[in-house]
Amino acid sequence: MEFKSLFMAHVPDADPEKDNCVLATEKYKLYVRLVKGQSEALEVVRKLVKAEGIESIMLCPGFTHKDIAEIQEVVGPNVGITVARGDSLSSKVAMEAMKEAGWF
């Protein structure tokens, strides 16, 4: 049996149907999905928790507290949710790189 988790990130030009992958070993399976916004995120978690038995979700820093609460409501209390948050310097560096890449 393997531990199954999902990493999800907001990306302005994402299409979760094609912007995804699965990495796996005998003991771990990581699903990666890129989404444009919250409605796609909710659809992805609803589908993957039910179909694949996801046990843990990791979110990029772009997810707000409200977004996280909505995701928790959809997946229920038996799925753990964590959010990748950096310190202020790390966040500033990432935001500058995202601006240069045309995200905003």
Q: Which residues are CB-neighbours of 87 under 8 A, at least 6 positions away?
A: none
How far is Cα 65 from Cα 27, in angstroms, rounded to an integer? 31
pLDDT at 73: 97
Cα–Cα distances in angstroms (integers) from residue 90 to residues 11, 38, 57, 64, 74, in the given order: 18, 24, 22, 18, 30
How far is Cα 52 from Cα 39, in angstroms, rounded to an integer? 20
Phi-psi region of 77 (alpha: psi -120 to 50; beta: other; left: phi over 0): alpha
pTM: 0.89
- Looking at per-residue confidence, does 39 or 91 come out higher? 39
pLDDT at 60: 93
Note the pLDDT tens digit of each residue in 51-94. Answer: 999 999 999 988 999 999 999 999 999 999 999 988 888 888 98
pLDDT at 104: 81
Note the pLDDT tens digit of each residue in 40-49. Answer: 999 999 999 9
pLDDT at 46: 97
Structural domains of the chain, with CATH:
3-100 (3.40.50)
Note the pLDDT tens digit of each residue in 2-12. Answer: 999 999 999 99
